[in-house]
Amino acid sequence: MIDPPPLKNDCFALPPGVEWTPVDEALARLRAGLACVVGTEAVPLADADGRILAEDAIARRANPPEANSAVDGYGFAGPAPEGVNRLSLAAGRAAAGVPFAGMVPPGQVLRILTGAALPKGVDTVVLEEDTATDAASIAFHGPVKRGANTRRAGEDIAAGAVALPAGRRLSPPDLALLAAVGIGSVAVRRRLRVGVLSTGDELRAAGAEAGPGQIYDANRPMLLALTGRWGHAAVDLGHVPDDRAALRARLDRGAQECDVILTSGGASAGDEDHVSALLRAEGSLTSWRIAMKPGRPLALALWRGRPVFGLPGNPVAAFVCALVFARPALETLVGAGWQAPQAMRLPAAFAKSKKPGRREYLRARLSPEGMVEVFASEGSGRISGLSWAEGLVELPDGPTEVRPGDPVCYLPYGAFGL
Ligand code: AMP
Ligand code: MG
């Protein structure tokens, strides 16, 4: 008869003598080890939102291309002195797209509309609302500074300047900027093909019949959607049971069809953890024990030359690891460069004490008062908490005591590109 081992006080502490990789070290390793793996293609601006610029976008034209009026009013050669100014009205007008060809003589004003190029003889505009006029002249109170109510040529951006740098993920305002400086199509990175594969004998596809001992594959729709949100081409590699040959075949297929593969499940060191076992035996497993909660088992490896992120099976851990590790890695692979999430320091609406040894991520969101609330349960099986949350609280690797009102590091999902 065998006796069970005695329980120890520190039975939930990290095993002694085991090397846990701190989050920052794992991130630094990833950052150092990865580079852009996709080529480029040209796309018209209309299709460029969310794509990654492959080279600097150089302004073909200045914005604005010529000096023009910022308001509707009257243009003249400034400045106008203090006191009442009366100037006679020149014939004609200048409008956006319909420039005034002639010269406005000194001492006269010309009717000018917003966006109209400043004609010769005009460097200053007085606002229509500030003038009184009859058919022949206008009157207004000075002083009006030279250049008032005008925009200088190139004041926004000069021709030949870098409008946007290589690596930029294009946003709707970026498209406005590129259009304004005369760019109609851009060289962008080909979309990164991201394979998503679930592993585990217990899994059934969402919506299918599930019997005793079976659970639904929650990770695959989540990870496919995440990669889609990040602007990548998500490739559904389906689900494989805990069978090494099946996993090998599916990884081979993934390596052919994708630039990078995200697996979930089987990443620990247990008997049924075929992902880490296979990657260790036949791939090149680089790092797999990260000092963080949730999601310590994380396998990082190359399979037939393709990076594989073996995420934990637990959906909460899979999600957090995807945000913390996979996202910046994928950004690097697609040429956007490493992106650290921008955290906010906000007051906690909760209390928590934490031991040293690993970084912790809590499911969190902001209260109406702008304080950071955390989900009632830290149980890593609580998928509802992920859905409840709108971000994560990051607690540092060291020991931490959080009291209500203390500033904590809040990372809204938006900081992870969601
Ligand atoms: P594993 O990492 O394979 O040991 O899985 C850890 C836990 O996550 C187990 O309870 C699994 O049943 C569960 N799990 C693994 N993959 C998935 C998945 N795709 N969807 C939902 N739960 C999963
Ligand atoms: Mg499993």
* Same domain membership, residue 185 and residue 47: yes
Which residues, by Cβ under 5 Å, contact ligand 2, an ion? 200, 265-266, 313
pLDDT computed for residue 287 by the predictor: 58
* Same domain membership, residue 232 and residue 296: yes
Domain end, chosen from 283, 298, 333, is at 333
Of 215, 222, 240, best ligand 1 pocket probe by most atoms within 8 Å of the beta carbon: 215
Strand partners, 74: 111, 126
Ligand nearest to the CA of 215: 1
301 found inside a domain: yes
- CA angle, 265 as apex, 262 and 269 as ends, to 5°? 115
Going through 159-271 in order, the beta strands assigned E by DSSP cover 162-164, 185-189, 193-199, 203-204, 215-216, 233-240, 260-264
* Same domain membership, residue 179 and residue 261: no
Around Cβ 334, how many Cβ atoms within 10 Å?
A: 26
CB-based contacts of 194, cutoff 8 Å, min separation 6? 227, 232, 233, 234, 235, 258, 259, 260, 261, 262, 330
* Same domain membership, residue 109 and residue 206: no
pLDDT computed for residue 4 by the predictor: 66
Q: What is the mean pLDDT of residues 221-231?
A: 98
What is the sign of the dihedral through the CA atoms of 233, 238, 240 and 246? negative
Q: What is the mean pLDDT of residues 34-58?
A: 96
**Distance in angstroms (rounded) separating the CA atoms of residues 335 and 342:** 19
Long-range contacts: 386-390, Cβ < 8 Å, 24+?
386/315, 386/316, 386/319, 388/363, 389/363, 389/364, 389/365, 389/413, 390/364, 390/365, 390/366
Give yes or no for residue 373 CB within 6 A of ligand 1.
Answer: no
Distance (Å) from CA 197 to ligand 2 centroid: 12
Number of domains in the chain: 4
More confident residue, 276 or 285: 276
Q: How confident is the model at residue 267 (pLDDT cuts 50, 70, 90)?
A: confident
Of 271, 276, 309, 314, best ligand 1 pocket probe by most atoms within 8 Å of the beta carbon: 314
* Same domain membership, residue 301 and residue 182: no
In 3D space, the residue among 235, 232, 186, 300 whose CA is nearest the CA of residue 37 turns out to be: 232
Helices and strands counted in the chain (H then E): 8, 28
* Same domain membership, residue 389 and residue 322: no
Give yes or no for residue 108 CB within 6 A of ligand 1.
Answer: no
Q: Whose CA is nearest to atom 17 of ligand 1?
A: 313
- CA angle, 156 as apex, 153 and 159 as ends, to 5°? 65
Ligand nearest to the CA of 313: 1
pLDDT computed for residue 150 by the predictor: 98
pLDDT computed for residue 362 by the predictor: 96
403 found inside a domain: yes
136 found inside a domain: yes
Domain end, chosen from 151, 171, 202, is at 151
Q: Give residue for tokens 């609280």.
A: 393
9 found inside a domain: no
- What is the token pair recorded at 147? 């250049």
What is the sign of the dihedral through the CA atoms of 253, 256, 257 and 260? positive
312 CA closest ligand 1 atom index: 2
Domain end, chosen from 293, 308, 333, is at 333
Q: How confident is the model at residue 268 (pLDDT cuts 50, 70, 90)?
A: confident
Q: How confident is the model at residue 61 (pLDDT cuts 50, 70, 90)?
A: very high
Q: Whose CA is nearest to atom 5 of ligand 1?
A: 313
Give yes or no for residue 217 CB within 6 A of ligand 1.
Answer: yes
pLDDT computed for residue 14 by the predictor: 42
258 found inside a domain: yes
* Same domain membership, residue 404 and residue 353: yes
pLDDT computed for residue 5 by the predictor: 61
Q: Give residue for tokens 């990175």.
A: 189
* Same domain membership, residue 209 and residue 129: no
CATH number, domain containing residue 348? 2.40.340.10
**Distance in angstroms (rounded) separating the CA atoms of residues 164 and 53:** 8
Percent of the chain, pLDDT > 70?
95
Of 224, 237, 264, 311, best ligand 1 pocket probe by most atoms within 8 Å of the beta carbon: 264
Distance (Å) from CA 270 to ligand 1 centroid: 13
- What is the token pair recorded at 361? 């991520």
Give yes or no for residue 219 CB within 6 A of ligand 1.
Answer: yes
Residue 256 DSSP SS3 = helix
Give yes or no for residue 312 CB within 6 A of ligand 1.
Answer: yes
Strand partners, 235: 195
Domain span at residue 398 reads 344-416
Of 197, 199, 201, 203, best ligand 1 pocket probe by most atoms within 8 Å of the beta carbon: 203
**Distance in angstroms (rounded) separating the CA atoms of residues 395 and 290:** 15
pLDDT computed for residue 272 by the predictor: 77
Rounded (10°) angle between helices 274-282 and 244-257: 70
Give yes or no for residue 295 CB within 6 A of ligand 1.
Answer: no
Give yes or no for residue 390 CB within 6 A of ligand 1.
Answer: no
Q: CA of 85: how far to CAs of 80, 88, 137, in Å?
A: 7, 10, 10
pLDDT (tens digit, 9 = 90+) per residue, 319-369?
A: 999 999 999 999 999 999 998 999 999 999 999 999 898 999 999 999 999
* Same domain membership, residue 203 and residue 181: no
> What are the b/e assignments for 114-131, b being 16+ CB within 10 Å?
bbbbbbebbbbbbebeeb
Distance (Å) from CA 186 to ligand 2 centroid: 44
pLDDT (tens digit, 9 = 90+) per residue, 111-137?
A: 999 999 999 999 999 999 999 999 899
CATH number, domain containing residue 266? 3.40.980.10
Query: What is the Rg, in whole angstroms, of the alpha carbon atoms belonging to the chain?
Result: 31
* Amino acid letter, 395: L
Distance (Å) from CA 246 to ligand 2 centroid: 14
Q: What is the mean pLDDT of the chain?
A: 92
Give yes or no for residue 310 CB within 6 A of ligand 1.
Answer: no
**Distance in angstroms (rounded) separating the CA atoms of residues 344 and 363:** 15
Give yes or no for residue 263 CB within 6 A of ligand 1.
Answer: no
* Same domain membership, residue 329 and residue 206: yes
The half-sphere exposure of 64 on its side-chain side, counting CA atoms within 13 A, is: 15
Q: CA of 378: how far to CAs of 106, 294, 363, 396, 416, in Å?
A: 76, 9, 8, 16, 21
Distance (Å) from CA 209 to ligand 1 centroid: 18
Q: How confident is the model at residue 21 (pLDDT cuts 50, 70, 90)?
A: confident
Q: How confident is the model at residue 10 (pLDDT cuts 50, 70, 90)?
A: very low
Q: CA of 109: how far to CAs of 79, 119, 131, 147, in Å?
A: 12, 11, 12, 14
Q: For residue 16, is pLDDT > 80?
A: no
Is the pTM higher than 0.85? The answer reads: yes
297 CA closest ligand 1 atom index: 2
306 found inside a domain: yes
317 CA closest ligand 1 atom index: 8
Least confident of 20-29, 47-56, 404-413: 20-29
Q: Strands across the sheet with 108-112, in order?
A: 124-127, 73-76, 108-112, 80-94, 137-144, 131-133
pLDDT computed for residue 377 by the predictor: 85
**Distance in angstroms (rounded) separating the CA atoms of residues 400 and 318:** 24
Q: For residue 63, is pLDDT > 50?
A: yes
- Residue 5: cis peptide before it, omega within 30 degrees of 0: no
Q: For residue 9, is pLDDT > 60?
A: no
290 found inside a domain: yes
- Residue 294: cis peptide before it, omega within 30 degrees of 0: yes
12 found inside a domain: no
Q: How confident is the model at residue 290 (pLDDT cuts 50, 70, 90)?
A: confident
In 3D space, the residue among 347, 305, 320, 349 whose CA is nearest the CA of residue 418 turns out to be: 320
Q: Whose CA is nearest to atom 23 of ligand 1?
A: 313
* Same domain membership, residue 173 and residue 51: yes
Q: For residue 7, is pLDDT > 70?
A: no
* Same domain membership, residue 262 and residue 200: yes
Pairing of β 193-199 and β 233-240: parallel
pLDDT (tens digit, 9 = 90+) per residue, 162-220?
A: 999 999 999 999 999 999 999 999 999 999 999 999 999 999 999 999 999 999 999 99
Q: For residue 230, is pLDDT > 50?
A: yes
Give yes or no for residue 196 CB within 6 A of ligand 1.
Answer: no
198 CA closest ligand 1 atom index: 19
